[in-house]
Amino acid sequence: MFKKFVFTLSACILFCLSVAAETVPVSFEGKNKTPLEVRNIDGQIFVEARDMAKYLRLQSNLFWASGQLNLHGKAGFFATLRQGESYATVKGKQEDLTAAPFMEKKSLYVPLTFFTEGPAFEAGNYQAAFDGTKIIIEKSGQLPVIEKSDRGTSLPQPKVTEKAKEEEEIQELGGEFFENVGPAVNLPAPTIINKLDTSKKNLPFVPKDLKKETVLRVCIDAGHGGKDPGANYRGIAKEKELNLYVAKELEKILKKNRKIEIKMTRDKDIFIPLGTRAQIANNFKADIFVSIHANAAPNKKAKGFEIYFRSDKASDKEAAQTAALENEALNYESNGVGTVTYADLLLNSLAANENINESSKLAARIRNSVSDKSGTLGIKVNMNNSIKQANFYVLQGVKAPSVLVEMGYVTNKDDKKRLGNKKVLQIMALSISNGIINYARQEGWKI
């Protein structure tokens, strides 16, 4: 046993000496700053995403358990990156990356080109460039001109010696054991673990062939109900009634497709605890979960269609207020969150984080479909700020891509008038169904 430990520790030390972290100088507004740690893999530079986000004044939120990073910037910029996936989802659209991000300990390393040439280049109040020797960061529009031939994306590569190759072979043999040593000897995560993570980049596409031969299971949730009226504003039906009407219309439309199975969390005016709604979806083995709501706000000028997916951190103050409003349904529950406890929800939140990327894509598809009909609906869809995040309890325990739709604001006179029209509600249901089908087909279902 002692010999095994000595061998393992020796291999760890050799590994640390052979792959010591590199750094790149940083020039921020003409001043030298602390160099950034980078990883040079196969000639490509990777930077710690949150370090770069801070410099560019982007808001970042990393779910390290799933390797999911969300970035917020100016003009409604929102991007999602994930370890092992060679693309980023930017405002609901896939954008190719030069390489797949990877996790190391609790940090996500992203290709530097994502910030210097990719979607994030114009996302913040600052911009970044790489001149081959250092990262240059200046306010937007003030970067120096850097010739492409000089810019480069890689640092000089050290020669690989036969000794280093032998050490790599030792590392591959002991990789899993090294991962468990971690904090005890305070060593960095070995490269082999990163390789295992990045090798998953094709996994999201594997299930597509399986999906093509199966039905699509959609769980439709009519928000509120029974003793919980939801938003209740004069001159319009109670929110719970609007939600149920649209949910039933959506069910009717989707049922016309024989390859889609539907489960309603409620089909009449009854109260269903928030956690129980998630449980219904999970027992149904839902592929998609859509919760239907109408919004309300103290500011009567607030208007328009919005769609949310779950995150521990709200995308803005208004999103946090909306989540707080919808989560008030907890006040009608006698035992926490129905048959599901708060502890259950917290445990399930790790599984829910795995679906954040898919939920954002589902949200974008539905948003786009509603936007296509916005003229007929008479309800505004802001393409830069209608997809948001917040911590909705009704989404927290769902183990599938899930979104919460806010059809419009009952507290706004224009939206209220439109939401009081059954024809408008029918078009809203049709638009949501189109978004669901577009998303499913994109992901490989033959429906």
For the chain, what is the HEC assignment?
CHHHHHHHHHHHHHHHHHCCCEEEEEEECCEEEEEEEEEEECCEEEEEHHHHHHHHCCEEEEECCCCEEEEECHHHCEEEEECCCCEEEECCEEEECCCCCEEECCEEEEECHHHHCCHHHHCCCEEEEECCCCEEEEECCCCCCCCHHHHCCCCCCCCCCHHHHHHHHHHHHHHHHHHHHHHHCCCCCCHHHHHHHHHHHHHHHCHHHHHCCCCEEEEEEECCECCECCCCCCCCCCHHHHHHHHHHHHHHHHCCCCCEEEEECCCCCCCCCHHHHHHHHHHCCCCEEEEEEEECCCCCCCCCCEEEEECCCCCCHHHHHHHHHHHHHHHHCCCCECCECHHHHHHHHHHHHCCHHHHHHHHHHHHHHHHHCHHHHCCCCCCCCCEEEECCHHHHCCCCCEEEEEEEECCCHHHHHHHCCHHHHHHHHHHHHHHHHHHHHHCCCCC
Q: Is position 385 within any domain?
A: yes
Q: Which two tokens stand for residue 121?
A: 């280049």
CA angle 58, 59, 60 (to 5 degrees): 110
Q: What is the pLDDT of residue 316?
A: 55
Band of residue 64 on the pLDDT scale cut at 50, 70, 90: low
pLDDT, mean of residues 221-243? 87
Cα–Cα dist 128/135, whole Å: 7
Q: Which candidate, 167, 164, 192, places its Cα nearest to that of 177?
A: 192
Q: Is position 82 within any domain?
A: yes
Q: What is the mean pLDDT of the chain?
A: 75
Residues 226 and 346 in one domain: yes
Q: Is position 310 within any domain?
A: yes
Question: Residue 372 sits in a domain of what CATH number?
Answer: 3.40.630.40
Number of CB atoms found within 10 A of residue 4's CB? 10
Q: Which two tokens stand for residue 16?
A: 């640390």
Domains contained in the chain, number: 3
Q: Is position 369 within any domain?
A: yes
Residues 199 and 233 in one domain: no
Residues 44 and 135 in one domain: yes
Residues 68 and 193 in one domain: no
pLDDT, mean of residues 132-144? 86
Cα–Cα dist 9/363, whole Å: 48
Q: Which phi and psi angles does 86 have, rounded to 5°?
A: -85, 30
Give the rounded percent of residues in the chain with a pLDDT score beyond 70.
Answer: 68
| pLDDT per residue as tens digits for the range 41-50 | 888 999 999 9
Give the rounded percent of residues in the chain with a pLDDT score beyond 90.
Answer: 36
**pTM, full prediction:** 0.53
Q: Is position 357 within any domain?
A: yes
Residues 6+ apart with CB under 8 A from 39: 21, 22, 45, 46, 104, 109
| Residue 359 near residue 310 (C-beta atoms within 8 A) | yes
Question: 391 vs 181, 299, 413, CA distance in Å?
Answer: 35, 21, 27
Cα–Cα dist 442/434, whole Å: 12
For residue 20, is pLDDT > 50? Answer: no
Residues 237 and 323 in one domain: yes
Q: Is position 256 within any domain?
A: yes
Q: Is position 391 within any domain?
A: yes
Least confident of 59-68, 74-83, 111-120, 164-173: 164-173
Least confident of 139-143, 282-286, 428-432: 139-143
| Residue 314 near residue 320 (C-beta atoms within 8 A) | yes
Residues 38 and 7 in one domain: no
Q: What is the pLDDT of residue 9?
A: 42
Domain boundary among 114, 135, 151: 151
Residues 239 and 362 in one domain: yes
Q: Is position 399 within any domain?
A: yes
For 64, the domain range is: 20-151
Q: What is the pLDDT of residue 171?
A: 32
| pLDDT per residue as tens digits for the range 388-407 | 876 666 677 788 898 989 99
Residues 294 and 409 in one domain: yes
For residue 350, is pLDDT > 60? Answer: no
Residues 260 and 378 in one domain: yes
Residues 146 and 46 in one domain: yes
Residues 6 and 55 in one domain: no
Residues 105 and 182 in one domain: no
| pLDDT per residue as tens digits for the range 191-220 | 222 222 323 333 333 344 445 558 999 999
Band of residue 128 on the pLDDT scale cut at 50, 70, 90: very high
Question: Residue 32 sits in a domain of what CATH number?
Answer: 3.30.457.10
Dihedral (Cα; 244, 246, 249, 254), 10-degree rounding = -100
